[in-house]
Structure 1
Amino acid sequence: MGSSGTTSAARVAELERQLATSEAARIAAEARLAASEAARARSEEALARLERMIAQLRRDKFGSRSEKASPDQQHLPFEDVEVAEGMLEAASEEVDKALGDRKTSPRKEKRNKGHLPAHLERVAQVIEPDSTLCPCGCGEMVKVGEDRSERLDVIPARFRVLVTVRPKYLCRSCDGASHVQAPAPEWLVPRGLPTEALVAHSMVSKFGDYLPFYRQADIYRRQGIDLDRSMLANWSGRAAQLLDPIIDHMINMLKRSDHLQMDETTVPVLAPGTGKVRKDYLWAILRDQRGWGGTDPPMVVFHHSRSRSGKVARDLLKGFAGGTLMVDGYTGYDSLADPKQTARPWDIAYCWTHWRRRFVKFGQDTPSPICEEMVARVSQLYAIEKEIRGKDPETRRAVRQKLSKPIIDALLPWLEARLQDLSSASDLARHIRYGLKRWDGLTRFLSDGRLEMDTNGVENAIRPIPLTRKNALFAGSDDGAETWARIASLIGTCRLNRVNPEAYVAATLRKILDQHMQSDIDELMPWSFAE
């Protein structure tokens, strides 16, 4: 009996040991399974992130860079179809003429009658009948009316030669001792070929219309004018040197403004002695008070630098009055609000468009109710902004406090709740944290009617730089990049003030060459120009 009990106890102990081993193995297997599930989830998240990155790269390469569709871009694929349609219509009209009196279905005519600008030159072409004699033999017919139609014509850009003649006068009674001749006018290029109008045309074509000098030289060559690319560049450099005081005056005026926008973009610059292209930056500082009815004219000033660091931003804003600066979420601007790093700290306001764009792009790759709801709520804010654009600051502030603030107050807890439901490593959670981290700057516009909700103004002003960069490939030197920045400042400010930059540059160069007084430099500002 004792031996049997001992055996049973040993067997029970063995079974318990096996059971404990099995339980430990089961727990270990479950742990491995959990780890595998976590690893699989991370892999799926990484895969989804890579797929979104690839999709975004495809859109950046081949699609629109803005979440707002452009009508012109939507119609672009149909242009060739419309050309073919025009050929078909022309062929159909020929058939109609051949059929003579057969009835044909009426076509909708595409006309711009009544929409041609009144300032365009009108050249009348009167087409009289072969005879105005009555076929019944009654004599000459009387004019009782006329049909008029207008068509838009163009005279291609053409060159002409301005010949400056300075007659010499001599007194024959004084044995030639007395003589007179008008002094030679000051020219941009001494004894050179170009007029101010030609140089202005070349400058604006390159820095405003994205047409590099070598392409301009090819165009000129079609009319038998051989102008070397380097010659066009030299002329533009001479003009830029004369225009420097105007741009310096613009910068001084900008320093007195207390509500500005700032952004930056890359610009390729040829590194001396290396044969390689370096990635530099053009920084843009914008003043635009049109949104709240301010009296200061809009202007934009560009600066070239080799770096994108916050120190560059601090150096560029030295001597400014300070105030509120609207920027995107780039951390390089954070030091501008730090009293330890900036003599006159700025109140930083952040751009809603940059934050909204994150949800738009995420939703394009991964359908998400959170993204849809976020975009819808921000759209409500923009609908309010549309209604108050151009009104005085106090009205804008009051409307924002009444209508926009409740939307934003409800948005904050909703985002915080969504953040709790998402994995901390997910891209969507990162996009939400982007805005929550900058909440004070994003909501600053609610209490200041002079602020916009976004940096769209400076982004629009900076947009020609990438287009010029794409066509011109790179700037040849640091001096070339700085000249690029300064000329772009002048042309960009002309555009903001709806001034023809080519006419402005030509007229301003002539005034400077005619010894315009430095004390009257305000008269030379783009917003003071009248054609």
Structure 2
Amino acid sequence: MSKPLEEQIHDLKDKLARAAHERDEYRKLYELASIELERLRRHIFGQKAEHVDPGQMQLAFDAIVQMLAGAAAPTGAAAPTDASTPADADAPSSPEGGGAAPAGASCGGDKGRRTTPHGRQKLPEHLPVERIELLPPEARDERATDMVRIGEEVSETLEWRPASFVRLQIVRPKFATQGEPEAGVVIADVADSPIPRSLAGPGLLAHVLVSKYGDHLPLHRQEKIFERQGVHLARSTLCGWVGSCAEVLGYLVEAMAKDALSAHCIAIDATGVLVQAKDKCRRGHFWVLVADRDHVLFRFTPRHNQDGPKTFLRGYKGYVQADASSVYEELFRTEQVTEVGCWAHCRRRFFEAMSSDKERAMTALGFIHQLFAIDKATKELPPSRRTEQRRSRAQTVLDALRAWLDREELLVLPRSPIAGAIGYARNQWTALTRFLEDGRLRLDNNRSELELRREALGRKNWIFVGSDDGAEWNATIVSLIASCALHQLDPWAYLRDVLILLPSWPRERVIELAPKSWKQTLEHTDARQRLAASPWTWAAPAPLAA
């Protein structure tokens, strides 16, 4: 009798083990489904920003800090305190000054509330002024001679005058010397045109480029807009103009890419794009490279693999800030670059894990919040001073965070969202702490993600690019428009003038036409004389004046 009973016990233990394993697997699936559901809800109904109630985050963070401080006291390890880190630097204070205020407290009647000024908005002073006088009936008939004007009341309205096409006629008179027929006929040289034998002037070309790649208006929409203005320009014609301009401007963008290799730090990121094909659209990728405060460069590759970053940054020696994608492994292994991690990506993983493990996720977000608070507090310091201050204040927080990660990694459920977030932080620790080496390094890679929004917003309008060549044109023009925004330049005026100068500009000096150097270039006599001699500049509208 004992043997069958032992077999039953053994079978029951096996079933219990299998049931426990299945329970854990279903729990993982449930947590993943909850995360996806929460992500979809936030995408459809809520804000996409990763905002957390500072009060709740501070409570979870303080409890862990106190526990780590008590555990580290015997060994002499330091935990973050108010003296070493600005624990509540960015947290709103309660009216009594007793810690963080609850969410929504700032919506009350507190004295620190920022008030919105009332009254009518003042119109910009640089706009041209048109005066319209409205006379009373008494001042318009025979009684006007008996009236004296003693003042006036002026009200301003913002009005719109539609843009218009212009038939620009460039006239070249012919001259001959009287009595000397053998001297021949004298006539001015033909003005250099961005596109030889083209109907479009540089101002119209710049308008089409900015409308398509800056304002995200596809060519078929521009075609309809031009039709409403009484000018028929087929989209095939517009496409030819875009391709020719991209070819001319490509020399400038390549010079910018070469100059970018001397940057201190380059931030890089990528996003997908559909490319039109015969059967169905295939997948390509746009890359963005932000080189310090100098250049914003876009690149296109048909595939999302390691060849792209390695090609873009071949020969570069410096810091490269990127996420932890596998496409950068070859770059960091073979090129002489130093990897810089992104705390925003790390923070996002903990934020997404809040639906399954809120307490641990809040604690990690509290640590990361401290790092960004320290970074913000030292932002205005000179680079050398900032390096010293940020390192001394952030090192304590990083030590406590690493101790917490090592401890929690042994307690969390494997393959759970919080385990993935903890694993990401531990695996990327060297890259994430690289910012301690140099005060000029950023904690996050948000600058490249923000630049990529240009392509993401455009993608909602034009859906796909027509070909690999079209994607290359896109990367070339968007590089210049994004760099103009970086240096606070009007992209239309810049592209118009560059298209005027490029045909005759020396190729060895083409970098002088980059947005980085544009303001200095316009101060040079050479550039001013070339623009002044161009008939396209004569036809340009006069500067706006009040």
TM range (shorter): 0.7 to 0.9
The answer to whether structure 1 residue 275 and structure 2 residue 282 are counterparts is no
The residue that corresponds to 1:11 in the other structure is none
Matched residues in 2 for 1:374 and 1:447: separation? 23
Structure 2 CA distance for aligned equivalents of residues 109 and 65 of structure 1: 29
User: Closer, same or farther in 2 for the Cα pair 1:213/1:449, shift >3 Å?
Assistant: same
Q: Is 2:352–2:417's contact at 8 Å kept on the other side of the alignment? A: no
Q: Secondary structure of the equivalent of 1:257? A: coil
Letter of the 2:429 partner, please give it. Answer: W
Q: Distance in 1 between matches of 2:310 and 2:47?
A: 33
User: Aligned to 1:421, what secondary structure does the other structure show?
Assistant: coil
Amino acid at match of 1:463: R
Note if 1:49 corresponds to 2:29.
no
Tell me what 1:503 maps to. 493
In the alignment, is residue 257 of structure 1 matched against residue 263 of structure 2? Answer: yes
Please say if residues 499 and 527 of structure 1, whose CA atoms lie closer than 8 Å, have aligned partners that are also in contact. Answer: no
Amino acid at match of 1:524: L
TM-score normalised over the length of structure 2: 0.77
What is the CA deviation profile of residues 130-163 of structure 1, one whole-angstrom value per residue up to 9, with x for unaligned ones?
Answer: 3469xx99954452x4433332222222222212
**Counterparts in 2 of 1:248 and 1:137: CA distance versus 1, 3 Å:** closer
Contact 2:266 2:320 in 1 (8 A): yes
Q: Is the 8 A contact 2:353 2:421 kept in 1?
A: no
Q: 1:120 aligns with which of 110, 115, 127?
A: 127
Please report how far the alpha carbon of residue 414 of structure 1 lies from its aligned counterpart in structure 2 after TM superposition. 1.1
Contact residue 322 and residue 341 of structure 2 kept, 8 A: yes
Residues 1:525 and 2:514 are matched in the alignment:
yes
Distance 1:34 1:523, change over 3 A: closer
* One-letter amino acid matched to 2:517: S
From 463, 469, 477, the counterpart of 2:453: 463
Task: Please point out which of 311, 315, 318 is paired with 2:314.
Answer: 318
Q: Which runs of 5+ in 1 are unaligned?
A: 1-16, 70-107, 290-297
User: Aligned in 2, Cα 1:60/1:308: closer, same or farther, shift over 3 Å?
Assistant: farther
1:434 corresponds to: 424
The letter for the 2-side match of 1:127 is L
Give a deviation string over 1:264-310, Cα, whole Å, max 9, x none: 11122234xx3332111122211124xxxxxxxx2111222122222
Q: Find the partner of 2:375 among 379, 385, 393.
A: 385
Do the aligned residues in 2 keep the contact of 1:397 with 1:449 (CA within 8 Å)?
A: yes
Whole-angstrom distance in 1 between the partners of 2:505 and 2:145: 70
Aligned to 1:148: 154
Alignment of 1:205 onto 2:201: no
Could you say if the C-alpha distance between residues 299 and 121 of structure 1 is closer, same or farther in structure 2, counting changes exceeding 3 Å? same
| 1:346 to 1:188, Cα distance in 2 relative to 1, 3 A | closer
8 A Cα contact 1:113 1:150, kept in partner: no
Provide the rounded CA distance (Å) in 2 between the counterparts of 1:237 and 1:63: 41
CA contact (8 A) 2:264 2:291 kept: no
Equivalent residues of 2:283, 2:302 under 8 A apart: yes
Letter in 1 for 2:256: M
Residue of structure 1 in register with 2:471 after alignment: 481
How far, CA to CA, are the matches of 1:491 and 1:131 in structure 2?
A: 56
Cα shift at 1:214: 0.7
RMSD in angstroms over aligned alpha carbons? 2.7
Q: Kindly, what percent of the aligned residue pairs are identical?
A: 31
Deviation at 1:441, TM superposition (A): 0.4
Cα distance change, pair 62–246 in 1 and its aligned pair in 2 (3 A): farther
Give, in whole Å, the separation in 2 of the partners of 1:373 and 1:431.
12
> Which residue is 1:451 aligned to?
441
Distance 1:139 1:156, change over 3 A: closer
- Tell me whether 1:284 sits opposite 2:252 in the alignment: no
**1:48-91 deviation digits (Å, cap 9, x = unpaired):** 2123224424545676554269xxxxxxxxxxxxxxxxxxxxxx
Question: Would the alpha carbon gap of residues 180 and 326 (structure 1) be closer, same or farther in structure 2, given more than 3 Å must change?
Answer: same
Q: TM-score, normalised by structure 1?
A: 0.79
Q: Hey, what does 1:129 align to over in structure 2? A: 136
Which is bigger in relative contact order (C-alpha 8 A, separation at least 6)?
2
Letter in 1 for 2:24: A
Alignment-derived partner of residue 330 in structure 1: 325
The 3 A distance-change label for structure 1 pair 64 and 234 is farther
Q: Cα–Cα, structure 1 residues 216 and 260, in superposed 2: closer, same or farther, change >3 Å?
A: same
Larger Rg: 1
Q: Is the 8 A contact 1:419 1:432 kept in 2?
A: yes
Structure 2 matches for 1:3-152, cutoff 5 A?
A: 17-18=1-2, 21-57=4-40, 59-60=42-43, 65-67=48-50, 111-114=119-122, 116-131=123-138, 140-141=147-148, 143=150, 145-152=151-158
Distance in 1 separating the partners of 2:394 and 2:155: 52
